[in-house]
């Protein structure tokens, strides 16, 4: 990996990125769900349900959710497959605590275990999980390729990886409207609702720096997966990559 990487549009030392990203999520953790609803007009909840439809899960599955945040995806899995075992992980302590408190308060913690863990160096044995999911977290990795290789390593031979992430709109006119919304409205919403324009400006920039659909597909295949397809949502604003 290069000694330099991107923190939004800013080039930074690779060793510094995780700390900078950590500061962003420490800042936004308490209002993370509210801001997701505001920025996506609530559509992120539908996207996560669509992710689950591609999971191939059955009862008694073992699942790893990376960058779990407020545990939206584990909650959906438990609701549909209550006998599943879910490992809820995040590199950010503030986000993980919000997710754990939510699991307790909303009573879906019974089959969950919680771990402060980096998706780039997973603390699990090879061939452990039937499903690995990550929702809106991969773009914040310092070394995405290392993370994808770790996801491959911990999956069983017939396991599935699902990545839900912001991507690149497929229509040029829509792309211009989306850019205007991202850089003019999202930071202002962050300032209005959580008094933090800078963190949401980074989040908008990080979306633009994330690999487009075909590039991410190629990275997934380079990580050792045999098959990868993606599904564009909202004209490609969001994509789900499914790998086997």
Burial of residue 105 (CB within 10 Å: 0-12, 13-18, 19+) is: exposed
Backbone φ/ψ region at 107: left (φ over 0), alpha (ψ -120 to 50), beta: left
Instruction: Name the token pair of 175.
Output: 């792309």
Q: What is the pLDDT of residues 114-168, one digit of tens each?
A: 999 999 999 999 999 999 999 999 999 999 999 999 999 999 999 999 999 999 9
Distance CA 53, CA 244 (A): 15
- Position 146 scores a pLDDT of 97
Q: What's the fold here for domain 4-243?
A: Rossmann fold (3.40.50)
Domain map of the chain by residue range?
4-243
Q: What is the DSSP letter of 170?
A: S
Q: Is the pTM of this model over 0.75?
A: yes
Question: Per residue of the chain (244 residues), what is the pLDDT tens digit?
Answer: 458 787 677 777 877 778 877 777 877 777 878 778 888 888 999 999 999 999 989 889 999 999 999 999 999 999 999 999 999 999 999 999 999 999 999 999 999 999 999 999 999 999 999 999 999 999 999 999 999 999 999 999 999 999 999 999 999 999 999 999 999 999 898 888 878 898 889 888 898 889 999 999 999 999 999 999 999 999 999 999 999 9
3-state secondary structure of 30: helix
* Number of C-beta neighbours around residue 34 at 10 A: 12
The beta-strand segments (E) located in the chain are: 4-7, 10-13, 62-66, 85-90, 112-116, 129-135, 155-166, 228-233, 238-243
- Position 2 scores a pLDDT of 55
- Position 5 scores a pLDDT of 82
């Amino acid at each position: 990996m290069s000694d330099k990487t991107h923190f939004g549009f800013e080039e930074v030392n690779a060793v510094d990125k995780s700390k900078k990203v950590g500061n962003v999520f420490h800042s936004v953790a308490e209002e993370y769900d509210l801001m997701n609803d505001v920025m996506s007009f609530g559509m992120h909840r539908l996207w996560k349900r669509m992710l689950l439809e591609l999971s191939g899960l059955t009862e008694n599955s073992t699942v790893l959710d990376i960058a779990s945040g407020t545990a939206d995806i584990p909650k959906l899995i438990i609701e549909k497959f209550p006998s599943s075992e879910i490992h809820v992980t995040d590199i950010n302590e503030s986000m993980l605590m919000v997710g754990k408190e939510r699991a307790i308060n909303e009573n879906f913690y019974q089959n969950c275990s919680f771990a402060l863990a980096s998706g780039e160096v997973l603390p699990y044995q090879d061939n452990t999980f039937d499903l690995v999911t990550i929702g809106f977290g991969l773009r914040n990795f310092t070394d995405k390729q290392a993370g994808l290789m770790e996801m491959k390593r911990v999956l069983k031979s017939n396991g599935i990886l699902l990545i839900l992430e912001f991507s690149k709109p497929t229509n040029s006119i829509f792309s211009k409207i989306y850019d205007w919304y991202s850089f003019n409205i999202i930071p202002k919403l962050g300032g209005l609702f959580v008094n933090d324009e800078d963190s949401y400006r980074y989040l908008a920039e990080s979306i633009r720096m994330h690999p487009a659909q075909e590039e991410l597909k190629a990275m997934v295949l380079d990580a050792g997966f045999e098959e990868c397809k993606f599904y564009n949502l909202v004209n490609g604003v969001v994509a789900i990559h499914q790998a086997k």
